Structure 1
Amino acid sequence: MNTRSMIFTLYGDYIRHYGNKIWIGSLIRLLKEFGHNEQAVRAAISRMSKQGWLEGEKQGNKSYYSLTEIGLKRMEEAGNRIFKLNPETWDGKWRMLFYTIPEEKRNLRDELRKELVWSGFGTMTNSLWISPNQLEDKVYALIKKYEIEEYVDFFVASYDGPHENWRLVENSWDIQQINEKYNEFIAHYSQKFIIDKNKIKSGAMSDAECFVERTKLVHEYRKFLFIDPGLPEELLPQKWFGSYAGSLFSDYYKELAEPANRFFEQVFADGNEMTLKDKEYDVLSHPLMLDKE
Protein backbone atom coordinates (compact mmCIF):
# COMPACT_ATOMS: atom_id res chain seq x y z
CA MET A 1 0.00 0.00 0.00
CA ASN A 2 1.70 3.18 -1.16
CA THR A 3 1.96 6.16 1.19
CA ARG A 4 -0.21 8.52 -0.86
CA SER A 5 -3.04 6.00 -1.04
CA MET A 6 -2.82 5.35 2.72
CA ILE A 7 -3.01 9.08 3.46
CA PHE A 8 -6.23 9.31 1.43
CA THR A 9 -7.61 6.36 3.39
CA LEU A 10 -6.77 8.01 6.74
CA TYR A 11 -8.41 11.29 5.72
CA GLY A 12 -11.51 9.47 4.53
CA ASP A 13 -11.87 7.11 7.46
CA TYR A 14 -10.61 9.26 10.35
CA ILE A 15 -9.26 12.78 9.85
CA ARG A 16 -12.31 14.24 8.12
CA HIS A 17 -14.33 13.44 11.25
CA TYR A 18 -11.87 15.44 13.36
CA GLY A 19 -11.97 18.84 11.69
CA ASN A 20 -10.34 17.66 8.44
CA LYS A 21 -6.93 18.84 9.69
CA ILE A 22 -3.94 17.07 11.21
CA TRP A 23 -0.43 17.93 12.37
CA ILE A 24 2.08 16.24 10.11
CA GLY A 25 3.83 14.82 13.18
CA SER A 26 0.66 12.89 14.04
CA LEU A 27 0.31 11.69 10.45
CA ILE A 28 3.89 10.45 10.50
CA ARG A 29 3.20 8.63 13.78
CA LEU A 30 0.05 6.97 12.40
CA LEU A 31 1.69 5.85 9.16
CA LYS A 32 4.65 4.45 11.06
CA GLU A 33 2.30 1.63 12.11
CA PHE A 34 2.18 0.55 8.45
CA GLY A 35 5.93 0.74 7.91
CA HIS A 36 5.98 4.15 6.18
CA ASN A 37 8.91 6.30 7.32
CA GLU A 38 8.97 10.06 7.88
CA GLN A 39 10.71 10.79 4.59
CA ALA A 40 8.07 8.89 2.60
CA VAL A 41 5.22 10.67 4.40
CA ARG A 42 6.68 14.14 3.86
CA ALA A 43 7.34 13.36 0.18
CA ALA A 44 3.76 12.12 -0.31
CA ILE A 45 2.32 15.18 1.47
CA SER A 46 4.41 17.44 -0.76
CA ARG A 47 3.17 15.71 -3.92
CA MET A 48 -0.45 15.78 -2.78
CA SER A 49 -0.18 19.48 -1.99
CA LYS A 50 1.27 20.24 -5.44
CA GLN A 51 -1.54 18.20 -7.01
CA GLY A 52 -4.13 20.28 -5.17
CA TRP A 53 -5.46 17.59 -2.81
CA LEU A 54 -4.03 19.03 0.42
CA GLU A 55 -3.24 22.49 1.76
CA GLY A 56 -0.88 23.32 4.60
CA GLU A 57 -0.82 25.95 7.31
CA LYS A 58 1.67 26.86 10.01
CA GLN A 59 0.76 27.18 13.68
CA GLY A 60 3.88 28.15 15.56
CA ASN A 61 6.56 25.68 14.52
CA LYS A 62 4.04 22.98 13.48
CA SER A 63 2.68 22.27 10.00
CA TYR A 64 -0.94 21.17 9.63
CA TYR A 65 -2.56 19.74 6.52
CA SER A 66 -6.20 19.54 5.48
CA LEU A 67 -8.06 18.43 2.38
CA THR A 68 -8.66 21.24 -0.12
CA GLU A 69 -12.08 21.84 -1.67
CA ILE A 70 -11.00 19.53 -4.50
CA GLY A 71 -9.95 16.89 -1.97
CA LEU A 72 -13.22 17.19 -0.05
CA LYS A 73 -15.15 16.93 -3.30
CA ARG A 74 -13.20 13.76 -4.12
CA MET A 75 -14.27 12.28 -0.78
CA GLU A 76 -17.87 13.32 -1.37
CA GLU A 77 -17.86 11.77 -4.85
CA ALA A 78 -16.43 8.55 -3.43
CA GLY A 79 -19.24 8.49 -0.86
CA ASN A 80 -21.85 9.05 -3.55
CA ARG A 81 -20.39 6.34 -5.77
CA ILE A 82 -20.76 3.79 -2.99
CA PHE A 83 -24.24 3.27 -4.43
CA LYS A 84 -22.51 0.92 -6.88
CA LEU A 85 -22.33 -1.67 -4.13
CA ASN A 86 -25.91 -0.91 -3.08
CA PRO A 87 -27.93 -0.63 -6.33
CA GLU A 88 -31.52 0.52 -6.52
CA THR A 89 -34.34 -1.72 -7.73
CA TRP A 90 -33.97 -2.11 -11.47
CA ASP A 91 -36.53 -0.39 -13.70
CA GLY A 92 -35.72 -2.72 -16.61
CA LYS A 93 -34.08 0.04 -18.66
CA TRP A 94 -30.55 0.38 -19.97
CA ARG A 95 -28.64 3.67 -20.05
CA MET A 96 -26.54 3.81 -23.22
CA LEU A 97 -23.92 6.46 -23.97
CA PHE A 98 -22.39 6.58 -27.43
CA TYR A 99 -19.58 9.01 -28.26
CA THR A 100 -17.28 9.86 -31.17
CA ILE A 101 -14.62 12.08 -29.61
CA PRO A 102 -11.93 13.05 -32.16
CA GLU A 103 -8.35 11.83 -31.85
CA GLU A 104 -7.01 15.31 -31.12
CA LYS A 105 -9.08 15.22 -27.91
CA ARG A 106 -7.65 11.88 -26.84
CA ASN A 107 -6.83 13.04 -23.30
CA LEU A 108 -10.41 14.17 -22.79
CA ARG A 109 -11.65 10.81 -24.09
CA ASP A 110 -9.38 8.95 -21.68
CA GLU A 111 -10.61 11.03 -18.74
CA LEU A 112 -14.23 10.36 -19.71
CA ARG A 113 -13.57 6.63 -19.88
CA LYS A 114 -12.12 6.65 -16.37
CA GLU A 115 -15.19 8.51 -15.07
CA LEU A 116 -17.57 6.08 -16.77
CA VAL A 117 -15.80 3.01 -15.36
CA TRP A 118 -15.73 4.60 -11.89
CA SER A 119 -19.47 5.30 -12.17
CA GLY A 120 -20.27 1.69 -13.05
CA PHE A 121 -20.64 1.75 -16.83
CA GLY A 122 -19.52 -1.20 -18.94
CA THR A 123 -18.37 -1.29 -22.55
CA MET A 124 -20.25 -3.07 -25.32
CA THR A 125 -17.83 -1.55 -27.86
CA ASN A 126 -15.03 1.02 -27.56
CA SER A 127 -17.45 3.93 -27.89
CA LEU A 128 -20.69 2.42 -26.54
CA TRP A 129 -21.13 2.32 -22.77
CA ILE A 130 -24.10 0.85 -20.89
CA SER A 131 -25.49 0.62 -17.36
CA PRO A 132 -28.77 -0.62 -15.88
CA ASN A 133 -28.51 1.96 -13.07
CA GLN A 134 -30.26 5.32 -13.10
CA LEU A 135 -27.26 7.44 -13.99
CA GLU A 136 -28.94 10.13 -16.07
CA ASP A 137 -27.86 12.96 -13.77
CA LYS A 138 -24.29 11.64 -13.73
CA VAL A 139 -24.14 11.38 -17.52
CA TYR A 140 -25.40 14.91 -18.09
CA ALA A 141 -23.00 16.22 -15.46
CA LEU A 142 -20.10 14.58 -17.34
CA ILE A 143 -21.29 15.96 -20.67
CA LYS A 144 -21.36 19.44 -19.16
CA LYS A 145 -18.05 19.01 -17.32
CA TYR A 146 -16.13 17.95 -20.42
CA GLU A 147 -18.14 20.11 -22.87
CA ILE A 148 -18.76 17.20 -25.26
CA GLU A 149 -22.38 17.83 -26.29
CA GLU A 150 -21.54 17.67 -30.02
CA TYR A 151 -19.79 14.30 -29.66
CA VAL A 152 -22.31 12.21 -27.68
CA ASP A 153 -25.73 10.60 -27.85
CA PHE A 154 -27.50 9.20 -24.80
CA PHE A 155 -30.34 6.66 -24.75
CA VAL A 156 -32.58 5.14 -22.08
CA ALA A 157 -34.04 2.01 -23.62
CA SER A 158 -35.33 -1.53 -23.11
CA TYR A 159 -33.52 -4.52 -24.55
CA ASP A 160 -35.78 -6.33 -27.01
CA GLY A 161 -33.69 -9.42 -27.71
CA PRO A 162 -33.06 -11.71 -29.38
CA HIS A 163 -31.12 -12.72 -26.25
CA GLU A 164 -31.68 -12.25 -22.51
CA ASN A 165 -30.51 -9.16 -20.58
CA TRP A 166 -27.83 -11.35 -19.03
CA ARG A 167 -26.15 -11.48 -22.46
CA LEU A 168 -25.53 -7.72 -22.24
CA VAL A 169 -23.93 -8.16 -18.84
CA GLU A 170 -21.60 -10.90 -20.11
CA ASN A 171 -20.55 -8.74 -23.06
CA SER A 172 -19.94 -5.57 -21.03
CA TRP A 173 -18.37 -6.69 -17.73
CA ASP A 174 -16.17 -9.55 -16.56
CA ILE A 175 -18.62 -10.53 -13.83
CA GLN A 176 -16.91 -13.86 -13.21
CA GLN A 177 -13.61 -12.12 -12.44
CA ILE A 178 -15.33 -9.65 -10.09
CA ASN A 179 -17.05 -12.53 -8.33
CA GLU A 180 -13.69 -14.30 -7.95
CA LYS A 181 -12.21 -11.14 -6.39
CA TYR A 182 -15.04 -11.13 -3.85
CA ASN A 183 -14.43 -14.80 -3.13
CA GLU A 184 -10.71 -14.09 -2.58
CA PHE A 185 -11.63 -11.30 -0.15
CA ILE A 186 -13.91 -13.69 1.74
CA ALA A 187 -11.31 -16.48 1.83
CA HIS A 188 -8.68 -14.11 3.23
CA TYR A 189 -10.73 -12.10 5.70
CA SER A 190 -13.16 -14.69 7.06
CA GLN A 191 -10.30 -16.52 8.77
CA LYS A 192 -8.65 -13.28 9.93
CA PHE A 193 -11.97 -12.09 11.35
CA ILE A 194 -12.36 -15.15 13.58
CA ILE A 195 -8.73 -14.96 14.77
CA ASP A 196 -8.84 -11.22 15.50
CA LYS A 197 -12.25 -11.43 17.17
CA ASN A 198 -10.88 -13.99 19.63
CA LYS A 199 -7.73 -11.93 20.16
CA ILE A 200 -9.72 -8.79 20.96
CA LYS A 201 -11.92 -10.67 23.44
CA SER A 202 -8.90 -12.14 25.20
CA GLY A 203 -7.01 -8.84 25.22
CA ALA A 204 -4.25 -10.25 23.01
CA MET A 205 -4.68 -7.62 20.29
CA SER A 206 -3.57 -4.05 20.95
CA ASP A 207 -5.46 -0.92 19.91
CA ALA A 208 -2.62 -0.11 17.50
CA GLU A 209 -2.97 -3.50 15.83
CA CYS A 210 -6.73 -2.98 15.52
CA PHE A 211 -6.05 0.41 13.93
CA VAL A 212 -3.76 -1.19 11.34
CA GLU A 213 -6.19 -4.01 10.54
CA ARG A 214 -9.23 -1.71 10.31
CA THR A 215 -7.42 0.63 7.94
CA LYS A 216 -6.19 -2.25 5.79
CA LEU A 217 -9.70 -3.72 5.73
CA VAL A 218 -11.26 -0.48 4.49
CA HIS A 219 -8.41 0.00 2.03
CA GLU A 220 -8.95 -3.45 0.51
CA TYR A 221 -12.75 -3.46 0.47
CA ARG A 222 -12.88 0.01 -1.08
CA LYS A 223 -11.17 -1.42 -4.17
CA PHE A 224 -14.49 -2.99 -5.16
CA LEU A 225 -15.79 0.52 -5.86
CA PHE A 226 -13.44 0.52 -8.86
CA ILE A 227 -14.45 -2.85 -10.30
CA ASP A 228 -18.01 -3.69 -9.19
CA PRO A 229 -20.62 -1.86 -11.33
CA GLY A 230 -23.31 -2.49 -8.72
CA LEU A 231 -25.67 -4.40 -10.98
CA PRO A 232 -29.28 -4.99 -9.86
CA GLU A 233 -29.97 -8.35 -8.27
CA GLU A 234 -31.86 -9.50 -11.37
CA LEU A 235 -28.67 -9.26 -13.43
CA LEU A 236 -26.28 -10.94 -11.01
CA PRO A 237 -25.16 -14.59 -11.10
CA GLN A 238 -27.14 -16.96 -8.90
CA LYS A 239 -24.04 -17.55 -6.78
CA TRP A 240 -22.91 -13.97 -6.10
CA PHE A 241 -20.26 -13.46 -3.41
CA GLY A 242 -20.60 -9.66 -3.23
CA SER A 243 -23.38 -9.73 -0.63
CA TYR A 244 -21.50 -12.07 1.70
CA ALA A 245 -18.32 -10.02 1.30
CA GLY A 246 -20.29 -6.93 2.33
CA SER A 247 -21.63 -8.64 5.45
CA LEU A 248 -18.15 -9.88 6.35
CA PHE A 249 -16.73 -6.38 5.95
CA SER A 250 -19.46 -4.94 8.17
CA ASP A 251 -18.97 -7.49 10.97
CA TYR A 252 -15.17 -7.28 10.90
CA TYR A 253 -15.18 -3.47 10.78
CA LYS A 254 -17.47 -3.20 13.82
CA GLU A 255 -15.25 -5.60 15.76
CA LEU A 256 -12.16 -3.45 15.08
CA ALA A 257 -13.78 -0.01 15.16
CA GLU A 258 -13.67 1.02 18.83
CA PRO A 259 -10.13 -0.08 19.73
CA ALA A 260 -8.86 1.27 16.40
CA ASN A 261 -10.45 4.64 17.07
CA ARG A 262 -9.00 4.72 20.59
CA PHE A 263 -5.53 4.42 19.10
CA PHE A 264 -6.22 7.12 16.52
CA GLU A 265 -7.50 9.51 19.19
CA GLN A 266 -4.54 8.74 21.45
CA VAL A 267 -2.14 9.79 18.67
CA PHE A 268 -4.32 12.65 17.41
CA ALA A 269 -4.73 14.21 20.86
CA ASP A 270 -1.01 15.03 20.92
CA GLY A 271 -0.71 18.17 18.80
CA ASN A 272 -4.24 18.46 17.42
CA GLU A 273 -7.55 19.96 18.53
CA MET A 274 -9.89 17.23 19.78
CA THR A 275 -12.81 19.69 20.14
CA LEU A 276 -13.13 19.70 16.35
CA LYS A 277 -14.42 16.12 16.38
CA ASP A 278 -17.80 15.76 14.67
CA LYS A 279 -20.32 15.13 17.45
CA GLU A 280 -22.48 13.03 15.11
CA TYR A 281 -19.61 10.72 14.13
CA ASP A 282 -20.50 7.09 14.90
CA VAL A 283 -17.35 5.02 15.15
CA LEU A 284 -19.29 1.82 14.41
CA SER A 285 -20.69 3.04 11.10
CA HIS A 286 -19.05 3.33 7.70
CA PRO A 287 -20.51 4.45 4.34
CA LEU A 288 -19.47 1.14 2.78
CA MET A 289 -21.96 -0.57 5.10
CA LEU A 290 -25.07 1.18 3.73
CA ASP A 291 -28.12 -1.09 3.65
CA LYS A 292 -29.56 -2.14 0.33
CA GLU A 293 -33.11 -1.27 1.36
Structure 2
Amino acid sequence: MKPQSMLFTIYGEYVRHYGSEIWIGSLTKLMGEFGLSEPAVRAAISRMLRQGWLESRKVGNRSYYSVSERGKKRLEEAAARIYKVETDVWDGKWCIASYNIPEERRALRDQLRKELGWMGFGMLTTSTWISPNNLSDRVKELTEAHEITEYVEIFTSEHMGWSNPKQLVQKCWDIDEINEKYKSFIDAYREEYEQLSAKMSNGEAVPDSHCFVEKTKLVHQYRKFLFIDPDLPQELLPELWLGKEADELFQNYYQLLNPGAVRFFETVYEAAPSA
Protein backbone atom coordinates (compact mmCIF):
# COMPACT_ATOMS: atom_id res chain seq x y z
CA MET A 1 0.00 0.00 0.00
CA LYS A 2 1.39 3.37 -1.01
CA PRO A 3 1.57 5.82 1.92
CA GLN A 4 -0.06 8.72 0.04
CA SER A 5 -2.96 6.59 -1.12
CA MET A 6 -3.45 5.24 2.41
CA LEU A 7 -3.41 8.79 3.78
CA PHE A 8 -6.31 9.67 1.50
CA THR A 9 -8.19 6.69 2.92
CA ILE A 10 -7.43 7.62 6.55
CA TYR A 11 -8.49 11.23 6.02
CA GLY A 12 -11.57 10.31 4.02
CA GLU A 13 -12.80 7.56 6.31
CA TYR A 14 -11.92 8.98 9.71
CA VAL A 15 -10.24 12.38 10.03
CA ARG A 16 -12.79 14.32 7.99
CA HIS A 17 -15.46 13.33 10.51
CA TYR A 18 -13.36 14.78 13.36
CA GLY A 19 -12.72 18.32 12.15
CA SER A 20 -10.49 17.23 9.23
CA GLU A 21 -7.32 17.91 11.26
CA ILE A 22 -4.96 15.54 13.05
CA TRP A 23 -1.68 15.63 14.96
CA ILE A 24 1.25 14.06 13.12
CA GLY A 25 1.89 11.77 16.09
CA SER A 26 -1.60 10.29 15.88
CA LEU A 27 -1.30 9.97 12.12
CA THR A 28 2.01 8.11 12.20
CA LYS A 29 0.66 5.73 14.87
CA LEU A 30 -2.41 4.96 12.74
CA MET A 31 -0.30 4.44 9.63
CA GLY A 32 2.06 2.26 11.64
CA GLU A 33 -0.75 -0.28 11.99
CA PHE A 34 -0.12 -1.05 8.29
CA GLY A 35 3.64 -1.35 8.64
CA LEU A 36 4.34 2.14 7.28
CA SER A 37 7.34 3.91 8.83
CA GLU A 38 7.33 7.47 10.16
CA PRO A 39 9.77 8.73 7.46
CA ALA A 40 7.53 7.24 4.75
CA VAL A 41 4.47 8.93 6.27
CA ARG A 42 6.23 12.30 6.58
CA ALA A 43 7.43 12.09 2.97
CA ALA A 44 3.89 11.35 1.78
CA ILE A 45 2.52 14.26 3.82
CA SER A 46 5.10 16.59 2.26
CA ARG A 47 3.99 15.52 -1.23
CA MET A 48 0.33 16.08 -0.35
CA LEU A 49 1.17 19.55 0.99
CA ARG A 50 2.95 20.46 -2.26
CA GLN A 51 0.05 19.10 -4.30
CA GLY A 52 -2.46 21.18 -2.37
CA TRP A 53 -4.38 18.32 -0.70
CA LEU A 54 -3.30 19.20 2.86
CA GLU A 55 -2.58 22.27 4.95
CA SER A 56 -0.43 22.48 8.09
CA ARG A 57 -0.21 24.53 11.26
CA LYS A 58 2.07 24.47 14.27
CA VAL A 59 0.85 24.59 17.86
CA GLY A 60 3.81 24.73 20.24
CA ASN A 61 6.13 21.96 19.11
CA ARG A 62 3.34 19.94 17.52
CA SER A 63 2.43 19.85 13.84
CA TYR A 64 -1.17 19.39 12.75
CA TYR A 65 -2.33 18.57 9.24
CA SER A 66 -5.78 19.31 7.86
CA VAL A 67 -7.52 18.68 4.56
CA SER A 68 -7.51 21.67 2.22
CA GLU A 69 -10.71 22.88 0.56
CA ARG A 70 -9.61 21.09 -2.60
CA GLY A 71 -9.02 17.92 -0.60
CA LYS A 72 -12.37 18.15 1.19
CA LYS A 73 -14.16 18.41 -2.14
CA ARG A 74 -12.38 15.35 -3.50
CA LEU A 75 -13.10 13.31 -0.36
CA GLU A 76 -16.76 14.31 -0.40
CA GLU A 77 -17.09 13.34 -4.06
CA ALA A 78 -15.45 9.98 -3.32
CA ALA A 79 -17.70 9.31 -0.33
CA ALA A 80 -20.82 10.19 -2.33
CA ARG A 81 -19.89 7.55 -4.90
CA ILE A 82 -18.69 4.86 -2.50
CA TYR A 83 -21.77 5.07 -0.28
CA LYS A 84 -24.31 5.85 -2.99
CA VAL A 85 -27.64 4.23 -2.11
CA GLU A 86 -29.57 4.37 -5.38
CA THR A 87 -28.84 5.04 -9.03
CA ASP A 88 -31.04 7.67 -10.64
CA VAL A 89 -33.20 6.71 -13.61
CA TRP A 90 -31.26 7.57 -16.76
CA ASP A 91 -32.78 10.29 -18.94
CA GLY A 92 -31.06 9.04 -22.10
CA LYS A 93 -28.76 12.08 -22.31
CA TRP A 94 -24.98 12.05 -22.57
CA CYS A 95 -22.59 14.60 -21.12
CA ILE A 96 -19.76 15.28 -23.59
CA ALA A 97 -16.45 17.02 -22.97
CA SER A 98 -14.31 17.84 -26.00
CA TYR A 99 -10.95 19.59 -25.85
CA ASN A 100 -8.11 20.79 -28.06
CA ILE A 101 -5.27 21.70 -25.73
CA PRO A 102 -1.99 22.79 -27.41
CA GLU A 103 1.12 20.68 -27.16
CA GLU A 104 2.95 23.20 -24.96
CA ARG A 105 0.32 22.57 -22.30
CA ARG A 106 0.60 18.79 -22.50
CA ALA A 107 0.87 18.38 -18.71
CA LEU A 108 -2.53 20.05 -18.23
CA ARG A 109 -3.99 17.93 -21.02
CA ASP A 110 -2.79 14.76 -19.33
CA GLN A 111 -4.15 16.00 -15.99
CA LEU A 112 -7.53 16.72 -17.58
CA ARG A 113 -7.71 13.19 -18.96
CA LYS A 114 -6.97 11.73 -15.53
CA GLU A 115 -9.62 13.91 -13.89
CA LEU A 116 -12.25 13.04 -16.52
CA GLY A 117 -11.52 9.34 -16.06
CA TRP A 118 -11.83 9.70 -12.28
CA MET A 119 -15.19 11.45 -12.68
CA GLY A 120 -16.48 8.51 -14.71
CA PHE A 121 -16.04 9.70 -18.29
CA GLY A 122 -15.11 7.24 -21.03
CA MET A 123 -12.95 8.09 -24.03
CA LEU A 124 -14.96 8.03 -27.28
CA THR A 125 -12.12 9.52 -29.32
CA THR A 126 -8.74 10.89 -28.28
CA SER A 127 -10.13 14.29 -27.28
CA THR A 128 -13.83 13.51 -26.80
CA TRP A 129 -15.06 11.96 -23.57
CA ILE A 130 -18.62 10.99 -22.67
CA SER A 131 -20.67 10.05 -19.60
CA PRO A 132 -24.33 9.11 -19.15
CA ASN A 133 -24.29 11.09 -15.88
CA ASN A 134 -24.81 14.84 -15.72
CA LEU A 135 -21.30 15.99 -14.86
CA SER A 136 -21.27 19.28 -16.77
CA ASP A 137 -20.99 21.47 -13.66
CA ARG A 138 -18.04 19.47 -12.38
CA VAL A 139 -16.29 19.73 -15.77
CA LYS A 140 -16.87 23.49 -15.73
CA GLU A 141 -15.32 23.76 -12.26
CA LEU A 142 -12.38 21.61 -13.34
CA THR A 143 -11.61 23.57 -16.51
CA GLU A 144 -11.99 26.89 -14.68
CA ALA A 145 -9.61 25.72 -11.95
CA HIS A 146 -6.99 24.77 -14.56
CA GLU A 147 -7.69 27.94 -16.60
CA ILE A 148 -8.27 26.01 -19.82
CA THR A 149 -11.84 27.05 -20.62
CA GLU A 150 -10.76 28.41 -24.03
CA TYR A 151 -9.73 24.88 -25.08
CA VAL A 152 -12.74 22.91 -23.81
CA GLU A 153 -16.37 22.56 -24.92
CA ILE A 154 -19.10 20.84 -22.89
CA PHE A 155 -22.37 19.45 -24.26
CA THR A 156 -25.45 17.58 -23.11
CA SER A 157 -26.76 15.55 -26.01
CA GLU A 158 -28.85 12.66 -27.29
CA HIS A 159 -27.13 9.88 -29.20
CA MET A 160 -28.73 9.49 -32.64
CA GLY A 161 -26.66 6.61 -34.07
CA TRP A 162 -25.31 4.30 -34.99
CA SER A 163 -24.38 2.13 -32.00
CA ASN A 164 -27.06 1.25 -29.46
CA PRO A 165 -26.37 2.56 -25.92
CA LYS A 166 -24.81 -0.67 -24.62
CA GLN A 167 -22.56 -0.90 -27.68
CA LEU A 168 -21.48 2.68 -27.06
CA VAL A 169 -20.59 1.73 -23.49
CA GLN A 170 -18.46 -1.16 -24.74
CA LYS A 171 -16.55 1.26 -26.99
CA CYS A 172 -15.73 3.65 -24.16
CA TRP A 173 -15.17 1.38 -21.17
CA ASP A 174 -13.70 -2.08 -20.70
CA ILE A 175 -16.75 -3.49 -18.92
CA ASP A 176 -15.40 -7.05 -18.91
CA GLU A 177 -12.22 -5.96 -17.13
CA ILE A 178 -14.21 -3.99 -14.52
CA ASN A 179 -16.44 -7.03 -13.95
CA GLU A 180 -13.36 -9.22 -13.50
CA LYS A 181 -11.96 -6.84 -10.88
CA TYR A 182 -15.28 -6.94 -9.01
CA LYS A 183 -15.07 -10.74 -9.08
CA SER A 184 -11.56 -10.58 -7.61
CA PHE A 185 -12.82 -8.28 -4.85
CA ILE A 186 -15.67 -10.68 -4.02
CA ASP A 187 -13.32 -13.68 -4.03
CA ALA A 188 -10.87 -11.85 -1.75
CA TYR A 189 -13.37 -10.67 0.88
CA ARG A 190 -16.35 -13.04 0.91
CA GLU A 191 -14.69 -15.67 3.10
CA GLU A 192 -13.16 -13.05 5.44
CA TYR A 193 -16.57 -11.47 5.96
CA GLU A 194 -18.33 -14.77 6.63
CA GLN A 195 -15.67 -15.92 9.10
CA LEU A 196 -15.70 -12.68 11.07
CA SER A 197 -19.50 -12.55 11.04
CA ALA A 198 -19.67 -16.08 12.47
CA LYS A 199 -17.06 -15.24 15.12
CA MET A 200 -18.97 -12.15 16.27
CA SER A 201 -22.28 -14.04 16.23
CA ASN A 202 -20.72 -16.59 18.58
CA GLY A 203 -19.73 -13.82 20.96
CA GLU A 204 -16.00 -14.15 20.36
CA ALA A 205 -13.95 -11.02 21.08
CA VAL A 206 -12.43 -9.22 18.11
CA PRO A 207 -9.78 -6.56 18.92
CA ASP A 208 -10.69 -3.02 17.89
CA SER A 209 -7.26 -2.68 16.31
CA HIS A 210 -8.08 -5.63 14.03
CA CYS A 211 -11.36 -3.98 13.03
CA PHE A 212 -9.53 -0.74 12.27
CA VAL A 213 -6.93 -2.39 10.07
CA GLU A 214 -9.38 -4.61 8.20
CA LYS A 215 -12.00 -1.90 7.67
CA THR A 216 -9.39 0.58 6.44
CA LYS A 217 -7.93 -2.00 4.04
CA LEU A 218 -11.45 -2.83 2.85
CA VAL A 219 -12.24 0.82 2.07
CA HIS A 220 -8.78 1.29 0.58
CA GLN A 221 -9.35 -1.56 -1.87
CA TYR A 222 -12.94 -0.63 -2.69
CA ARG A 223 -11.97 3.00 -3.30
CA LYS A 224 -9.93 1.84 -6.31
CA PHE A 225 -13.18 1.20 -8.19
CA LEU A 226 -13.70 4.97 -8.30
CA PHE A 227 -10.92 5.08 -10.86
CA ILE A 228 -12.32 2.38 -13.15
CA ASP A 229 -16.10 2.09 -12.61
CA PRO A 230 -17.98 4.90 -14.45
CA ASP A 231 -21.08 4.46 -12.27
CA LEU A 232 -23.31 3.59 -15.22
CA PRO A 233 -27.09 3.64 -14.84
CA GLN A 234 -28.83 0.26 -14.65
CA GLU A 235 -30.09 0.55 -18.24
CA LEU A 236 -26.52 0.49 -19.59
CA LEU A 237 -25.12 -2.36 -17.52
CA PRO A 238 -24.66 -5.90 -18.87
CA GLU A 239 -26.93 -8.69 -17.66
CA LEU A 240 -24.06 -10.24 -15.71
CA TRP A 241 -22.83 -7.33 -13.60
CA LEU A 242 -20.97 -8.08 -10.39
CA GLY A 243 -20.81 -4.50 -9.19
CA LYS A 244 -24.02 -4.82 -7.17
CA GLU A 245 -22.90 -8.03 -5.46
CA ALA A 246 -19.53 -6.47 -4.63
CA ASP A 247 -21.24 -3.39 -3.24
CA GLU A 248 -23.51 -5.46 -0.98
CA LEU A 249 -20.50 -7.40 0.32
CA PHE A 250 -18.62 -4.16 0.94
CA GLN A 251 -21.53 -2.56 2.82
CA ASN A 252 -22.14 -5.63 5.00
CA TYR A 253 -18.47 -6.12 5.88
CA TYR A 254 -18.08 -2.38 6.50
CA GLN A 255 -20.98 -2.32 8.97
CA LEU A 256 -19.48 -5.31 10.79
CA LEU A 257 -16.07 -3.69 11.21
CA ASN A 258 -17.04 -0.05 11.67
CA PRO A 259 -17.87 0.14 15.41
CA GLY A 260 -14.56 -1.39 16.52
CA ALA A 261 -12.60 0.57 13.91
CA VAL A 262 -14.03 3.88 15.13
CA ARG A 263 -13.33 2.99 18.76
CA PHE A 264 -9.69 2.27 17.93
CA PHE A 265 -9.33 5.50 15.94
CA GLU A 266 -10.72 7.50 18.85
CA THR A 267 -8.14 6.01 21.25
CA VAL A 268 -5.32 7.24 18.98
CA TYR A 269 -6.76 10.52 17.71
CA GLU A 270 -6.12 13.69 19.69
CA ALA A 271 -8.32 16.72 19.08
CA ALA A 272 -6.38 19.68 17.74
CA PRO A 273 -6.42 22.93 19.78
CA SER A 274 -8.77 25.63 18.52
CA ALA A 275 -7.29 27.74 15.74
In structure 2, relative to structure 1, the CA distance for the partners of 1:83 and 1:169 (3 Å cut) is farther
- Unaligned stretches of 5+ residues in structure 2: none
SS of corresponding position for 2:129: strand
In structure 2, relative to structure 1, the CA distance for the partners of 1:140 and 1:8 (3 Å cut) is closer
Tell me whether 1:72 sits opposite 2:72 in the alignment: yes
Q: CA deviation at 1:107?
A: 1.6
Tell me whether 1:55 sits opposite 2:84 in the alignment: no
- For residues 144 and 187 of structure 1, the distance between their equivalents in structure 2, rounded to whole angstroms, comes to 42
Q: CA deviation at 1:16?
A: 1.5
In structure 2, relative to structure 1, the CA distance for the partners of 1:250 and 1:275 (3 Å cut) is farther
Please name the residue that 2:166 is paired with: 166
Letter in 2 for 1:207: D
Q: Which one is further off, 184-193 or 161-170?
A: 161-170
Q: CA deviation at 1:86?
A: 5.2
SS of corresponding position for 2:252: helix
SS of corresponding position for 1:9: helix
Q: Is the 8 A contact 1:18 1:274 kept in 2?
A: no
Q: Which one is further off, 167-176 or 84-93?
A: 84-93
Please name the residue that 2:113 is paired with: 113
**Deviation sequence 1:179-213 (CA, Å, 0-9, x none):** 11111111111111011222334424211011000
Q: CA deviation at 1:257?
A: 0.6
In structure 2, relative to structure 1, the CA distance for the partners of 1:98 and 1:240 (3 Å cut) is same
Calculate the aligned-residue CA RMSD, in Å: 2.3
Number of matched pairs: 273
- Unaligned stretches of 5+ residues in structure 1: 277-293
Q: CA deviation at 1:66?
A: 1.7
Q: Is the 8 A contact 2:96 2:155 kept in 1?
A: yes
Letter in 2 for 1:215: T
- For normalisation by structure 1, the TM-score amounts to 0.85
Letter in 2 for 1:88: D
SS of corresponding position for 2:89: coil
Q: Is the 8 A contact 1:84 1:120 kept in 2?
A: no
In structure 2, relative to structure 1, the CA distance for the partners of 1:84 and 1:21 (3 Å cut) is closer
- For residues 225 and 167 of structure 1, the distance between their equivalents in structure 2, rounded to whole angstroms, comes to 22
In structure 2, relative to structure 1, the CA distance for the partners of 1:150 and 1:244 (3 Å cut) is same
Q: CA deviation at 1:175?
A: 0.6
Please name the residue that 2:245 is paired with: 244
1:121-140 equivalence runs, <5 A: 121-140=121-140
1:1-293 equivalence runs, <5 A: 1-80=1-80, 82=82, 87-201=87-201, 202-268=203-269, 272-273=270-271
- For residues 91 and 118 of structure 2, the distance between their equivalents in structure 1, rounded to whole angstroms, comes to 21
- For normalisation by structure 2, the TM-score amounts to 0.90
